[in-house]
Chains A and B, each alone.
Chain A
Amino acid sequence: MSNFFEKSDLSRSEAENIISDTLQKCDDGELYLENSKSESILLDDNKIKNSSYNSDLGFGFRAISDEVVAYSHSNEISKNSLKQSSENLKSTLKSVKGTYNHEIPKSNKKYYENINPIEQKSLNEKIKILNEVNDYLRSKDDNIKQVTANFLGEQKSVEIIRSGGETLTDVRPLIRFNVSVMLEKNGRKETGVYGVGGRQSYDSYLKDDNWKSVCDEALRIASVNLESKPAPAGEMKVVLGPGWPAILIHEAVGHGLEGDFNRKKTSAFHNLMGQKVASEGVTIVDDGTIDNRRGSLTIDDEGTPTEKTVLIENGILKNFMQDRLNARLMKTKSTGSGRRENYRHIVLPRMRNTMMLSGNQTQDEMIKAVDKGIFAVSFGGGQVDITSGKFVFNCTEAYEIVNGKIGSPIKGATLIGDGPSILKEVSMVGNDMMMDPGIGTCGKAGQGVPVGVAQPSILINKMTVGGTKL
């Protein structure tokens, strides 16, 4: 655990006094301190291209009165700096008359261990694996023209000090291992990308030469794409595979169910609480409590323990995801969804691990039910306009379906749909729910946070596929 006041002219008790003084008569607020250490080691073009290390330290001081948020952050943890921030907050919130809400739920549960993954494996060992990855892949296929592999490791220590001195802490490990392969054959180039990660040590993911299966998967995707033909254009049936394709859920409904957009009534879902927004059999939860997952958190960035929040139950909209501010203004409770990228940013309600739960049909039944359509197995990124509800995501591995059979692979294409109506078009839910491999980062208001997704195979009756073949 970091001692944020160790090398500072500011003592903990002085900090507590400034916090309590600044936040009296505010409705909420806290001092958020963060110390993060991260590394990146990259192999590219047959060489170790980059080995870098970052150490980031700073605080963010927040005061909230009614709907107004005042925020100030700095890298310097000093008496002067905190006092200046306090003055900034006070000058924004000139005449406050609220009552500070001291209530914050407690839990002893932890969803990951207090480790520093960077120090659990030496630089030489990491470089050795990256070189092995390169040699392994290049010996497997003569068409390989480029291999990129990298390790990203992080340990983030946070401390939240609330008015009155109540203190909440968390130490969060996070790692990611990625492999990207480019193939060239007959003048045509295609790439395949795969990765794994979560809140554990590197070795938890790499033991028993498990890195080989990451390489194999990246190579398989690139090989499939090398044979792909132009994607069709127009509306058709779409079967989504299990796991990572759940970024459809994340984009199509996840963002629209975040508390801030619904309090402000700018989400296409804001007036649909308690109503049917999905087909029967569709249940979606957002869960921060799964051990060691990329999107899991012991406490959120306001200090609230995370939970498993039911968003849609059997087709009916049940809950939004809330931070403390939006929960108070909407007269409900925080769901432990208050997150920020780091101390430079304000808290927003965000997703953690967003999952559609299993139904009882098989992927085979879905494929057989499609005369003409596509089968999408893997995706790159996605995006949503939460106001119009329109969302997109980009296929990185997909096949055509002709008369109930999987046909040729098709080129990467964007799929577009309408969030509030897409889940009503889900006509089959598979029995094969799977988590993603632990590589997702969600962007909102310029802030990126690690998230997870999961889903079973699903059949969607109608979606627009953005190919070039009419």
Chain B
Amino acid sequence: MVKDQEFLEKKASYCLGLAKKLGATESSVIVNNSVSETVNFRNKKLDESNRSDDLGISITTYIGKKKSSISSSNLLDDNLNILIEKCVETTKNTPEDEFNSLPDKDLLAKEVKDLNLYDDTHIENDQKIDYLKKLESAASNDKKIVNTESSFTQNKSNFILANSEDFCAGYKTSSFTASSVTVAKDEKSMERDYEYSSKCFLKDLDDAGELGKQAADQTIRKLSPKKIGSEKIAIIFDKRIAKGILSTFASAISSSAISRGTSFLKDKVNQKIFSDTINVLDKPDILKGLGSRNFDSEGVKTDTLKLVDQGILKHYLIDTYNGKKLNLKSNGRCGGTSNLYFENGNISFKDLLYSKSKSLYITETIGHGSNIVTGDYSVGATGFLVENGEFKYPINEITIAGNFKDMFKNITLANDLEFKYATNSPTIMIEGMVVAGK
């Protein structure tokens, strides 16, 4: 069982009290507990079961403008005494930074809304096994599938965030996640692909059979890939890859990258960075949303932000420290975005495929090729050649490259947005990128 609010609050207030006694002028503490149970299947048989019970505490102490922090998984009072003493001692010896402080009191969340983030249902391992049997049977239907690995995880978490300004709040969250990774083989090649579903509530989880079938279909269609020549070509990003472009955008507008001057989007607020039709929202109060929250990791309340309005950048993602440095107020984005998404475009997925006589549809990228300082982008890619709206053949061992500054201005969005992850995008097409192949 995940620890209750009372236990976490008691630990939090013990720490705040002790920090004050030892000389901290301000302090904050996060206590969390997370219990996960996972069952893994491989080739229709039980492969692994895994239970984790994780406790954690992290404490930040301030003495004036000096700051230091400690974290630990050992919540015994004896250990906390040693650590808090060490933390206060380190704080004394750390140089001052004029921007160090707790959030402004008037920005802290006043209420905690029930965002439907916790499902009390407990799913026994035997039920997980039933789900995985059904999933793997669907995944391995086709003879070309030579290996299946699937997994079912139930996670229950609880946390308390408290600070010396009398803020003290937290809530339980849950997630149920099923995934399937399949390997297909033919004479020429062996390929792998996956599908997964993650929900706050068990009853919303995708059907096991459909999940397995989808993973298998997506793998089989990749068999016998070809390599194409190097050329400039329109690129269509599958939804699961398109969300990565939004994540890069989010890193580039984080107040830390902006205040340090290490982002290609520095000084771009109120300037056009996307084409006219593009809107980007970060909405923290979606019921059952995988990125939903009442406040950020400093306790600052999070409101919906229209980050990009008709192509124009409106906000950075601001936390307390970098906000003070930039002379801006925190907008509750310490720790990043909540439910971040591109609003739907006005063209269907099918029309997007048909919009060019020839394009590349990318389903997977590999490598860490996004540079937020310069905006340069270059990654390995796998996908399909699309001609006149039809998938012609699978492609691999190519790279796609461009610069985000140009890519953002050349985005066309389809209207097929779904909320499957915390960050979501409809299918997108970007023109003017370069493919390197043969």
Given contacts A54-B71, A385-B366, A467 and B436 within 8 Å (CB-CB): yes
Which residue from B53, B69, B401, B438 sits with its C-beta under 8 Å from A52? B69
Are B399 and A466 in contact, with the CB atoms below 8 A? yes
Contact of A53 among B54, B90, B229 (CB under 8 A): B90
Interface of B is mostly: strand
Chain B residues whose C-beta falls within 8 Å of the C-beta of A7 in the assembled complex: 76, 78
Interface of A is mostly: strand
Tell me whether B102 is interfacial, beta carbon within 8 Å.
no
CB atoms of B434 and A468 under 8 A apart: yes
Given the known inter-chain contacts A53-B86, A265-B147, A266-B192, please indicate yes or no for A467 contacting B434, CB distance below 8 A. yes
Chain B CB within 8 A of A408 CB: no
Contacts of A372 in B (CB 8 A): none
Contact of A416 among B55, B68, B399 (CB under 8 A): B399
Q: B49 interface residue, CB < 8 Å from A?
A: yes
* Chain A residue nearest in CB terms to B231: A470
Contact of B68 among A52, A55, A73 (CB under 8 A): A52
Question: A355-391, CB under 8 A of B: which get 1 and which 0?
Answer: 0000000000000000000000000111111011011
Interfacial chain B residues near A383, Cβ < 8 Å = 366-368, 380
B100 → A minimal CB distance (Å): 9
Asked if B418 is at the interface of the complex by the 8 Å CB criterion, the answer is no
- A91-103 interface bits toward B, Cβ cutoff 8 Å, 1 = contact, 0 = none: 1100000000000
Say yes or no: B94 contacts A127, CB within 8 Å: yes
- Known contacts A58-B73, A72-B51, A182-B261: A466-B147 contact under CB 8 Å: no
Q: Encode B149-166 as 1/0 by CB contact (under 8 A) with A.
A: 100000000000000000
| Whole-angstrom CA separation of A44 from B256 in the bound complex | 11
Listed stretches A63-71, A160-168, A282-290, A450-458; interface member? A63-71
A10–chain B nearest beta-carbon distance, Å? 13
Q: A71 touching B53 by the CB < 8 A rule?
A: no
Question: Which listed residue (B42, B46, B67, B368) contacts A92, Cβ 8 A?
Answer: B46
B87 with A53: CB separation less than 8 A? yes
- Choice from A54, A394, A416 contacting B397 with Cβ under 8 Å: A416
How many Å from the CB of A57 to the closest CB on chain B? 4
Please judge, given known A-B contacts A75-B73, A344-B54, whether A68 and B378 are in contact too, CB under 8 Å.
no
Contact B397 A418 (CB under 8 A): yes
Chain A contacts of B86 at CB under 8 A?
Answer: 53
Q: Which residues of A contact B230 (CB under 8 A)?
A: 233-234, 470
Q: How far is the CA of A189 from the CA of B49 in the complex (A)?
A: 48
B260: Cβ under 8 A from any A Cβ: yes
- Is B139 part of the contact surface with A, judged by Cβ < 8 Å? no
Is B74 engaged at the interface, CB distance under 8 Å to the other chain?
A: yes
Least CB distance, A409 to chain B, in whole angstroms: 14
Instruction: For residue A154, give the distance in angstroms from its CB to the closest CB of chain B.
Output: 14
CA distance A85 to B51 in the complex (A): 8
- Give the distance to chain A from B334, nearest Cβ to Cβ, in Å: 14
What distance in Å separates the Cβ of B321 from its nearest Cβ neighbour in chain A?
9
Q: Which residues on the B side are within 8 Å of A465 (C-beta)?
A: 399, 436
Interface members, chain A 142-170 (any B CB < 8 Å): 145-146
Q: Which of B42, B262, B367, B435 has the most CB of A within 10 A?
A: B367
Q: Are A387 and B191 in contact (CB under 8 A)?
A: yes
Tell me if A314 is interfacial: C-beta within 8 Å of chain B: no
Q: Could you tell me which residues of chain A, from 37 to 90, have a CB within 8 Å of some CB in chain B?
A: 44-45, 47-58, 67-76, 81, 85, 88
5 further interface pairs, Cβ-Cβ under 8 Å (given A344-B54, A388-B382, A414-B369):
A53-B71, A53-B87, A266-B147, A385-B366, A416-B436
**Can you list 19 A-B pairs with a CB-CB distance of less than 8 A?**
A53-B86, A56-B74, A67-B42, A70-B50, A74-B53, A88-B51, A182-B373, A231-B401, A234-B436, A234-B438, A235-B438, A264-B42, A387-B192, A388-B396, A394-B378, A413-B399, A414-B380, A466-B379, A466-B436
